[in-house]
Chains A and B, each alone.
Chain A
Amino acid sequence: MRKSSDIGRLVKISENTTLIFCLISLCGSVFNIIFYEILRNKINNYRDIIVVSDKLGIFAAIIFILFFIFHISAIISLISQLKFFKRESLLRSFSFFISIVSLLMIFGDFALLSDISKEYLHGLYEGITGEFFILYLSQGLHLLFIVLVIVLVSLSKKEIRKKPVKEIVLKDESIFINANYIGILCGISGLVILLLLSVFMPVWAIRKGIIIITLMIALPYITITIYWLITKVREKIGEWNDEKQYQDITKASLFTLVFSVALLAVIFAVQYWASRFDLLDVIWFPVYLFAVILLFSSAIIFLSRKDTSME
């Protein structure tokens, strides 16, 4: 087993690397926002964008690569922090969730820019506003992630300075708890986004993007669960959790079963009587998936908090 002081050193190295990329990405993010604003203005005023995109496009491409490296480095830092501090933290779970979504949005940015250029070349200037709106939302997400990383790295540096060597933890509950915090975030985000899509988007547009949106929101939970499984791979299945965790999982599963059946009954009733049969036909599975993740994770967190709260 690797000593905790070695892991502490690894945490420090990965955090310093992340911090350097974080500052570069912050400048890159500001540059991108200015670049997109110039493009949007030119397109709105029916002016040529070829010269600007030729001049500044290369920098935007380099920033994409830097963003990607920064995200990978930050995710490694977050995982090493989870491993070193062995403590559940809502902020760390939230940052992990944002890190994966923000990473995927880098590819989203690329796709949106290529959509914008296609529409521009076909003279569809009016339709570009929607793409720019999502592009700005995505930049906001990247900025939020950069700020979160700066805060987390500063907090972690402070903590390591205070306590450079952590006590040995043979059976770690922090990843289990953090995974459930991430489950709650994925569940809530998934249900809210599905609700917004159902209200504001036509069914054909939802049908087009539902798989990628579902995967994007569920991916943080899938990633942390796979990481948790990797940490357990050397143990026997019966030793993956201790007896209290198994008891919590059993209660949470029963709770999830009862409420998910009730939810499916509501979906069935709406499908049977409501006029938007076509919409539910498309989103019933994502609704069920996010609801189940939310119910199960909330129940686990509730049970672990309830049983350990101070009297």
Chain B
Amino acid sequence: MLKNNLRKCRFEYNEISQQELANAVGVTRLTIHSIEKGKFNPSVLLAIKIAVFFNKSVEDIFYIEKNNF
């Protein structure tokens, strides 16, 4: 399963809400919530949009745990 640092990124980015991030990348708040909880894998397009929003690379936000390779 894909893991992520989304919660941390939001915290570092002026503690923006899930809704604000959802508005910025064009999805619903529930989708952001599911991604944060690790229960939904975003598409490549959405992952890139999120990374661009936080001005980071995709790998800085999304990663796979070593034992899952």
Interface: B3 (CB within 8 A) = no
Residue of A nearest to B17 (CB): A167
- Whether B39 pairs with A308 at a CB distance below 8 angstroms is yes
Take A173-B30, A244-B34, A308-B33 as given contacts and tell me if A168 and B40 are in contact as well, using a CB distance cutoff of 8 Å. Answer: no
Number of B residues, CB within 8 Å of A = 19
Within 8 A of B (CB), among A154-201: 167-173
Number of A residues, CB within 8 Å of B = 19
- Whether A171 pairs with B26 at a CB distance below 8 angstroms is yes
Residue of A nearest to B24 (CB): A170
Interface: A242 (CB within 8 A) = yes
Min C-beta distance of A303 to chain B, whole Å: 10
Min C-beta distance of B68 to chain A, whole Å: 18
- Whether B23 pairs with A171 at a CB distance below 8 angstroms is yes
- Whether A243 pairs with B46 at a CB distance below 8 angstroms is yes
Interface: B60 (CB within 8 A) = no
Take A242-B28, A244-B34 as given contacts and tell me if A169 and B39 are in contact as well, using a CB distance cutoff of 8 Å. Answer: no
- Whether B26 pairs with A308 at a CB distance below 8 angstroms is no
Residue of A nearest to B38 (CB): A311
For A168, list chain B residues within 8 Å (CB): 19, 23
Which 5 residue pairs are nearest across A and B when measured between Cβ atoms?
A: A173-B28, A242-B27, A244-B31, A307-B39, A307-B34
In the assembled complex, 21 residue pairs joining A and B whose CB atoms fall closer than 8 Å, in A order, are: A167-B17, A167-B20, A169-B29, A170-B22, A170-B26, A171-B23, A172-B28, A173-B28, A173-B29, A243-B27, A243-B31, A244-B27, A244-B28, A244-B31, A244-B40, A306-B39, A307-B30, A307-B39, A308-B30, A308-B33, A308-B37
